[in-house]
Amino acid sequence: MVHQASSRGAQSKSRGDKSRAVPVAPLTQTKVEIVPGRLTEGSWTCWVDQEAGEKTVGDTVDSMISQVLEECYKVYLARQIIPYTVHQAQEAMTQMVEWAFIPRDEGEQDMIVTIKEPQPCPTDSWAQGCVPAINLAPGQCSISPKVPPVGSTPEGQEHAQTYN
């Protein structure tokens, strides 16, 4: 049934097409200009295709150059391994010999100067224990017109003590 219905529709269309001929205008291709008067869509796609091809070629060349440089570096290392090893061994042996035979330091002869012993600092009167304490007998006046010098004992005061 489905087949008959589709053939009927096809017959009716073909009858209508025969009876009435409608002129169809050919499709004209309009050129889309990206930059008016200078760059069309066709030239743009051509440039994009060229650019894609150039990128592919550039990537291929980069990978090849990378491989070549890696191989060159491996050859360089292979050539330098023996001289490097010999140099490092020589440096290690030289250091060990220098450590075993340390030379005597003679010093600088021009710099010998006799240094005098420094003078002791004067006693600071605020320092703890440097001012003597005087014990007065009961009935003596505590105010004295004479202040004894630091480090000496006043006359008649045998019991002077210093407190730390």
Q: Does residue 156 have a pLDDT over 60? A: no
Say what the pLDDT of residue 164 is: 46
Token pair of 74 as six digits: 């491996």
Q: What is the rounded average pLDDT of the residues 136-162?
A: 59
Segment of 10-14, 35-39, 92-96 carrying the highest mean pLDDT: 92-96
Between 70 and 38, the more confident residue is: 70
Q: Does residue 75 have a pLDDT over 90? A: yes
- 151: Cα within 13 Å, side-chain hemisphere: 4
Say what the pLDDT of residue 40 is: 79
- Measured CA distances, 131 to 15, 121, 151 (Å): 141, 16, 8
Q: Does residue 161 have a pLDDT over 70? A: no
8 Å CB contact between 116 and 137: no
Q: What is the chain's Cα-based Rg?
A: 57
Say what the pLDDT of residue 85 is: 96
